Structure 1
Amino acid sequence: MSEGGRELWLRIPGAEGQLRSLMDWLRHEDGLRGRVRAVQRPPVPGEMGGALDVLAVAVGSGGMGVVLANCLSTWIAQRRSDLRITVSTRDGRTVEVDAKGVDPQALARDIERLLNNPEVEGNRQ
């Protein structure tokens, strides 16, 4: 699914319903269609299936980081609850997005830095 291994993982700790909502939102974005997949943790004893844990988004080249940042910003703006979304790379670099007053341009810069500079780790408030 990912192009050249360029995949970002999105987490919303403790908010599986919100993560499902975000997955639906991203899958309907033309620029991200076919690039979003759910990653479920294995079921624990007594569960019928595993819980949704992470969204994986293939971001290849061509400004996909900006498309993702704009979609995230719009989705966050429509939420009425406090959320914290963690965007991470396979090697563990992260950007945390606080839903209060997210700046789409700053978020796009942070995501592009995650994708293009392996030494950068950010924290977006």
Structure 2
Amino acid sequence: MDAEIRVAGGRDDDLVALQDWLNNEDELRGRVGIASGTIGETELGSLPDLLTVAFSAGGAGTVLASSLIAWLKTRQTSAKITVEAGGRSVTLDIKTAHDVRPLLEEVLRSGHDN
């Protein structure tokens, strides 16, 4: 299963910083990719839009949830992270990270049921 992760409202380099952070997790290393949008006719390139994280059933979803929350806590940003998996999504920010943790873990597990 893949999870798609978007970062909005933070700094321009937040998505790349999150990718580096997630790649430092043993269970996620090599499973995190960055995707860019399509390039318009008048654009020289596009900014990365989202991260994709491939993981299987088991502990990787829990590791991903914990790592996302830890990353938010280390940032001095107003960034919001939206995680989508299995047709469901959840958005968290530094203020709501702990409150939505059970929902985040449920969303990450839900993709294995489809």
Superposed pair shares fold, TM > 0.5? yes
**Structure with higher strand content:** 2
Shorter chain as normaliser: what TM range?
0.7 to 0.9
Query: What TM-score do you get using the length of structure 2 for normalisation?
Result: 0.83
Cα RMSD for the two superposed structures: 2.0
Larger relative CO (CA 8 A, sep 6+): 1 or 2?
2
- What is the percent sequence identity of the aligned residues? 35
1:48-104 deviations in whole A, cap 9, x for unaligned? 22210000011211211110011111111111111211001253x110102225218
Write the letter of the residue equivalent to 1:110.
Answer: L
Is 1:97 the counterpart of 2:81? The answer is no
Q: Distance in 1 between matches of 2:26 and 2:91?
A: 25
Aligned to 1:110: 103
Q: Distance in 2 between matches of 1:26 and 1:51?
A: 19
Query: What TM-score do you get using the length of structure 1 for normalisation?
Result: 0.77
Q: Distance in 2 between matches of 1:90 and 1:62?
A: 15
The answer for unaligned runs of 5 or more in structure 2 is none
Q: Structure 1 residues 117, 101: closer, same or farther in 2, change over 3 A? A: closer
Q: Is the 8 A contact 2:61 2:109 kept in 1?
A: no
Q: Structure 1 residues 111, 102: closer, same or farther in 2, change over 3 A? A: closer
Is 1:29 the counterpart of 2:22? The answer is no
